[in-house]
Structure 1
């Protein structure tokens, strides 16, 4: 076998390995995601919520791999969402005292935010707020990918 053929085969195998790795990062959260709450469960939480807002795809740092769209509801004890989030690993829900739509603004204001919960489903969720969190101290909900430091989406609820 010639050197040229060995190099070509090695390069093609490395590229397939890298592609497989990135597909795995994208697919694993989808494959291991728990069942999302039912529409009825989300509706009950949403009806009890004090604030309602929308995640929109058009935010500055949202892109084809990092986005959210749908309705988010914020109550005194829970936050609920019905819509779609781009699948990904290690999503966290934050409450922020200021609306942000860029990674730079998120990083700048992260010290003033509170991380509320993990987000493990991508078409709806219900998360419980810690008992010491007052939603009146904040005005926005943010979904952030902690592992890769990526802004996903945000909504200003008041």
Structure 2
């Protein structure tokens, strides 16, 4: 009986660890190629605003972070930098700077979802028609599936 419980426990631990590793690595394995540096630099040259993703935000942690320069233009938003890999990342524009999950949830109904972030080294996300980034101040990466704050950058006061 003791041996059966030990086997059940050890197999459960291995299953949970394997599942966690799968959740972390699957987005990396299925991610499309990152945009070329030249394309991100060209987008940045046409952008109206810039901000910085930083690892030291209150809501960021070793598994949920971003770093690099975000360029916000009327037609696209680009990142020259990196994000911690994860599933189901969405890019939002917010009227206020947020740096925690609680702040994000408090303001979510006043934000606009720009689109999906599918790459973790650089990204380019088109701005939907009818969305004016100058109506907002902050760009946010949010993990929709797990309700996790990843990072944010204020691009105008």
Q: Sort the TM-score into its range (normalised by shorter chain).
A: over 0.9
- Specify the alignment match of 2:123 in structure 1: 125
Structure 1 residue 28 corresponds to structure 2 residue 26: yes
- Specify the alignment match of 1:72 in structure 2: 70
The 5 A counterparts of 1:1-158 are 3-158=1-156
Q: Which structure 2 residue ranges, 5 or more long, are not aligned?
A: none
Question: Which structure has the bigger radius of gyration?
Answer: 1
Distance, in Å, in 1 between the alignment partners of 2:34 and 2:125 is: 11
With normalisation by structure 1, the TM-score equals 0.97
Distance, in Å, in 2 between the alignment partners of 1:61 and 1:130 is: 27
Q: Which structure 1 residue ranges, 5 or more long, are not aligned?
A: none
With normalisation by structure 2, the TM-score equals 0.98
SS of 1:118's partner is: strand
Runs of 4+ in structure 1 off by over 6 angstroms are none
Report the alpha carbon displacement of residue 9 of structure 1 after superposing the two structures with TM: 1.1
Distance, in Å, in 2 between the alignment partners of 1:7 and 1:59 is: 43
